[in-house]
Amino acid sequence: MLIRRHGDIRSSEITPADVYAQRRAFLKAAAAAGVGAALSGPAAALVAPAGQRDAIAGVVETPHGRGLELTDYEFVTQYNNFYEFGTDKADPAENAHTLRTRPWNVVVDGECEAPGEIGIEDILTGFTQEERIYRLRCVEAWAMVVPWIGFPLGDLLRRFKPTSRANYVRFETLLDPEQMPGQRRAILDWPYREGLRMDEAMHPLTILATGLYGEVLPNQNGAPLRLVVPWKYGFKSIKSIVRISFVHGVPETTWWRMAPDEYGFYANVNPSVDHPRWSQARHRVLGEGLFSRKHETPMFNGYADQVAHLYKDMDLRKFY
Amino acid sequence: MDRPEHAFPWRRFVAKPLLFGAALIPFGLLVHGAAVGDLGANPLERVTHTTGDWGLRFLLLTLAMTPLRQLTAWSGWLTFRRMLGLFAFFYVSLHFLTWIWLDQELRWANMLADIAKRPFVTVGFVAWLLLLPLALTSTRAMMRRLGRHWKRLHRTVYAVAVLGVLHFLWLVKADLLEPLIYAAVLFVLLLVRWRPGLLKRPPLSTRALDAR
Ligand code: HEM
pLDDT digits (tens, 9 = 90+) for A271-299: 999 998 899 999 999 999 899 999 999 99
Rg (CA), chain A: 19
Residue A173 has pLDDT above 50, yes or no: yes
Q: Whose CA is nearest to atom 31 of ligand 1?
A: B124
- A39 CB within 8 Å of a chain B CB: no
Show residues of chain B in contact with A260, CB under 8 Å: none
Rg (CA), chain B: 20
pLDDT, mean of residues A187-207: 97
Nearest CA in chain A to B105: A293
Cβ distance A290 to B175 less than 8 Å, yes or no, reads no
Cα A255 to chain centroid, rounded? 16
* Cβ-contact A153, A206 below 8 angstroms: yes
**Spatial distance between the Cα atoms of B16 and A145, rounded to a whole number of angstroms:** 48
The pLDDT value recorded for residue B200 is: 65
| Amino acid (one-letter) located at A174 | L
Residue A15 has pLDDT above 70, yes or no: no
The pLDDT value recorded for residue B39 is: 94
CATH of A11-311, one of 3.90.420.10, 2.60.120.40, 3.90.1150.10, 3.40.50.10260: 3.90.420.10
Our mutation pick for probing the ligand 1 site, out of B53, B95, B158, B172, counting the most ligand atoms within 8 A of Cβ, is: B95
The pLDDT value recorded for residue B11 is: 82
Residue A225 has pLDDT above 80, yes or no: yes
pLDDT digits (tens, 9 = 90+) for A69-89: 999 999 999 999 999 999 999
Orientation of helix B25-36 relative to helix B16-23, angle to 10°:
30
Orientation of helix B156-171 relative to helix B43-72, angle to 10°:
140
Give the confidence band of A317 by pLDDT, cuts at 50, 70, 90.
confident
* Residues A155-175 as b or e (16 or more Cβ within 10 Å = b): ebbeebebeeebebbbbbbbe
Say what the ipTM of the complex is. Answer: 0.83
Tell me the CA end-to-end span of chain A in Å, nearest whole number.
Answer: 13
The pLDDT value recorded for residue B8 is: 82
Q: Measured between CB atoms, which of B42, B105, B173 is closest to A79?
A: B42
> Per residue of chain B (212 residues), what is the pLDDT tens digit?
455 556 788 888 899 999 999 999 999 999 999 999 899 999 999 999 999 999 999 999 999 999 998 888 888 888 899 999 999 999 999 999 999 999 999 999 999 999 999 999 999 999 999 999 999 999 999 999 999 999 999 999 999 999 999 999 999 988 899 999 999 999 999 998 888 777 665 544 444 444 43
HEC sequence for chain B: CCCCCCCCCHHHHHHHHHHHHHHCHHHHHHHHHHHHCCCCCCHHHHHHHHHHHHHHHHHHHHHHHHHHHHHHCCHHHHHHHHHHHHHHHHHHHHHHHHHHHHHCCCCHHHHHHHHHHCHHHHHHHHHHHHHHHHHHCCCHHHHHHHCHHHHHHHCHHHHHHHHHHHHHHHHCCCCCHHHHHHHHHHHHHHHHHHCHHHCCCCCCCHHHHHHC
The pLDDT value recorded for residue A6 is: 38
Cβ distance A43 to B38 less than 8 Å, yes or no, reads yes
* Cβ-contact B67, B189 below 8 angstroms: yes
* Cβ-contact A247, A178 below 8 angstroms: no
Q: Measured between CB atoms, which of B37, B171, B175 is closest to A277?
A: B171
The pLDDT value recorded for residue A183 is: 97
Residue A7 has pLDDT above 50, yes or no: no
Measured in angstroms, the CA of A150 and the nearest CA of chain B are apart by 25
pLDDT digits (tens, 9 = 90+) for B2-32: 555 567 888 888 999 999 999 999 999 999 9
Mutate to test the interface with B, among A272, A290, A297 (most CBs of B within 10 A): A290
**Spatial distance between the Cα atoms of A206 and A289, rounded to a whole number of angstroms:** 31
**Spatial distance between the Cα atoms of A23 and A207, rounded to a whole number of angstroms:** 24
The pLDDT value recorded for residue A36 is: 39
Give the confidence band of A137 by pLDDT, cuts at 50, 70, 90.
very high
The residues, ordered by sequence, that sit 6+ positions from A287 with a Cβ below 8 Å of its Cβ are A45, A71, A72, A75, A144, B41
Domain ranges of chain B: 10-211
Domain ranges of chain A: 11-311
Which of the residue ranges A4-8, A9-13, A264-268 has the most confident prediction, judged by mean pLDDT? A264-268
Show residues of chain B in contact with A279, CB under 8 Å: 110, 114
* Cβ-contact A136, A237 below 8 angstroms: yes
The pLDDT value recorded for residue B71 is: 86
Kindly list the residues of chain B whose beta carbon comes within 8 Å of any beta carbon in chain A: 34, 36-45, 47, 102, 105, 110, 114, 118, 120, 170-171, 173-175, 177
Instruction: Choose the weakest-confidence range: A26-35, A162-171, A241-250, A290-299.
Output: A26-35
CA atoms within 13 A on the CB side of B20: 10
Residue A26 has pLDDT above 80, yes or no: no
The residues, ordered by sequence, that sit 6+ positions from A92 with a Cβ below 8 Å of its Cβ are A80, A81, A82, A84, A85, A86, A219, A220
Show residues of chain A in contact with B105, CB under 8 Å: 293-294
Residue A10 has pLDDT above 50, yes or no: no
The pLDDT value recorded for residue A24 is: 55
Measured in angstroms, the CA of A226 and the nearest CA of chain B are apart by 22
Q: Rounded to the nearest 10 degrees, how much is the dihedral formed by the CA atoms of A205, B173, B49, B154? A: 160
Task: Identify the helix (H) or strand (E) that includes residue A212.
Answer: strand A207-212
- Strand segments (E) across A54-178: 60-61, 105-110, 116-119, 130-137, 142-152, 168-173
